[in-house]
Amino acid sequence: MKHKNNITPINGKNYKKMLPLGGMGGFLVALLFMLVSCQKDDSDLSSYMEQGGGETPAPTSTIQTISIAYNGNSVTVLGDDNGLVKSNGAHVIVNASASTDSLLLVLSGTSDNGSLLVYREKKFGIQLNGLTLHNATGAAINNQCKKSLYLYVNDGTTNTLTDGETYADTEISQKGTLFSEGQVYLMGNGTLNVTGNCKHAIACDDYISVDGNLTLNVKSSTGNGIKVNDGLWINNGTLDINVSADAARGIKSDSVVVITGGNTTITTSGDCVYDKEVDDYSSAACIKCDCDFTMTGGTLTMTSSGDGGKGINCSTQVIFKGGTLSAVTTGDNDEGKPKAIKTDLGIIVSGGSFTAKVAKSWACDSGYGDDSTSDGERLAHCVTVEGTPKENSIAKKLVKISY
């Protein structure tokens, strides 16, 4: 699926072609290719995703690498030849709005009172190279650039981002511990831990694509684990998302969610919250999306234990073509109705292994009928099964389909 800029996020195959097996040198080459060769059209990367993709790359220009090492209440900056970096203690501002060079920021070290704020007009890269960063009054990393951010987690490193329980009043948007105005491509072979204590853990006003052998651990006790406006694509990697807030979602997308690979585990434990605007209860969900949910590969394991909790809550269709999906809800139905898979326009299963299970209410709800519709009629319409599965067991509280 393409979105507002007519860009299809990179798939795992293309990333692997562009990113050698690690090291700064390989990342610099890949980043330089992506950033520099696309300068003639800064809003469209689709023609350049594969090397030799049918177009002649623009001449190589300068890539500016700035290293920022956090050390308690101070930072050490190397490579800032143009004076782009300013710091107040360990709170760093990179103002590269006027810079035409390709830009790479390499972050390392530890601070429990620090942050990174970036202003930029063109796409750029951040490499995490063993960073532990806590900002008690806002986002740990705040990208104010509306173009693409390539966030690479260096091989063999563990990186941790956390925020505080309150944010300082500011005109600068900061919706989570890791926040970006523009698209985010999460890549690499290391580990990234992100915890949200005030708002969301990860928030993006555009889309996010996850690839590489990245290990991404996300926790939130107040908001959503990952919140995106224009879609989430999971192509590879290992994701573990744990959300405990009432009515919070492991993944909340105002657009699509597409899973083509990787190993994703999502756990929610929050209860329902009454929403005065809609005069109804809002429940926690492992995945909540306002457009289609599509899965063609990988593994997705979802568990929701709160009252009225959902595995997937989709405003349109759930389209499951392959991979392994398991959604289990164990919560009560005191205020809301727990459902493993809930959609408004249908659930279509045509491949892979699909399991939906509830302790109460319906395992699968395709939006057909209402409380006056008989169980038999609702059951007949709850899932559309295509092809010839090896197992096709559809009951009110348990649906198992495998090919």
Q: What is the pLDDT of residue 35?
A: 47
Q: What is the pLDDT of residue 402?
A: 98
Q: Is pLDDT at 25 greater than 70 in this prediction?
A: no
Q: Is pLDDT at 229 greater than 50 in this prediction?
A: yes
CA distance 187 to 153: 6
pLDDT interval class at 368 (50, 70, 90): confident
Q: Exposed, middle or buried, 375 (CB in 10 Å: 0-12/13-18/19+)?
A: exposed
Q: What is the pLDDT of residue 75?
A: 98
The 8-class DSSP code of residue 48 comes to G
Q: What is the pLDDT of residue 42?
A: 35
Q: Is pLDDT at 323 greater than 90 in this prediction?
A: yes
Q: What is the pLDDT of residue 57?
A: 35
Concatenating the DSSP letter of every residue in 349-401 gives: E-SSEEEEEESSSEEEE-S---TTS-HHHHHHHS-EE-S--SEEEE-SSEEEE
Q: What is the pLDDT of residue 254?
A: 97
Counting residues of the chain whose pLDDT is more than 70, the rounded percentage is 85
Using an 8 Å Cβ cutoff, are 27 and 21 in contact? Answer: no
| Cα 353 from chain centre | 23
pLDDT interval class at 227 (50, 70, 90): very high
Question: Of the candidates 299, 196, 173, 213, which has an alpha carbon nearest to the alpha carbon of residue 252?
Answer: 196
Q: What is the pLDDT of residue 279?
A: 80
Over residues 248-260, the pLDDT tens digits come to 999 999 999 999 9
Q: What is the pLDDT of residue 40?
A: 35
Q: What is the pLDDT of residue 27?
A: 54
Look over the chain and give the mean of its residue pLDDT values, rounded to a whole number: 86
Q: Which residues contact 179 (CB under 8 A, 6 or more apart)?
A: 139, 141, 142, 143, 173, 202, 203, 204
CA distance 272 to 281: 6
Over residues 182-194, the pLDDT tens digits come to 999 999 999 999 9
Residue 123's identity, in one-letter code, is: K
Question: Which helix (DSSP H) or strand (DSSP E) does residue 115 occupy?
Answer: strand 114-120
Using an 8 Å Cβ cutoff, are 165 and 144 in contact? Answer: no
Over residues 273-286, the pLDDT tens digits come to 888 887 888 899 99
128 vs 39 pLDDT, higher one: 128
Cα-based distances in Å from 331 to 2, 303, 339, 398: 36, 10, 9, 15
Question: Of the candidates 299, 291, 314, which has an alpha carbon nearest to the alpha carbon of residue 264?
Answer: 299
Which tokens belong to 178?
A: 């890791």
Q: Which residues contact 24 (CB under 8 A, 6 or more apart)?
A: 106, 127, 154
Which tokens belong to 231?
A: 């879609």
Q: Is pLDDT at 382 greater than 60 in this prediction?
A: yes
Q: Is the dihedral of CA 243, 217, 187, 143 positive or negative?
A: positive
Q: What is the pLDDT of residue 374?
A: 86
Q: Is pLDDT at 241 greater than 50 in this prediction?
A: yes
Across 222-279, where does the E strand assignment appear? 226-228, 232-234, 238-243, 249-253, 257-259, 263-268, 273-275
Residue 78's identity, in one-letter code, is: L
Can you tell me whether residue 315 is helix, strand or coil?
A: coil
One-letter-per-residue 3-state SS of 275-309: ECCCCEEECCEEEEECCCEEECCCEEEEEECCCCC
Q: How many Cα atoms occupy the beta-carbon half-sphere of 114 within 13 Å?
A: 26
Over residues 130-166, the pLDDT tens digits come to 999 999 999 999 999 999 999 999 999 999 999 988 8
Over residues 68-124, the pLDDT tens digits come to 999 999 999 999 999 999 999 999 999 999 888 889 999 999 999 999 999 999 999
Q: What is the pLDDT of residue 354?
A: 98
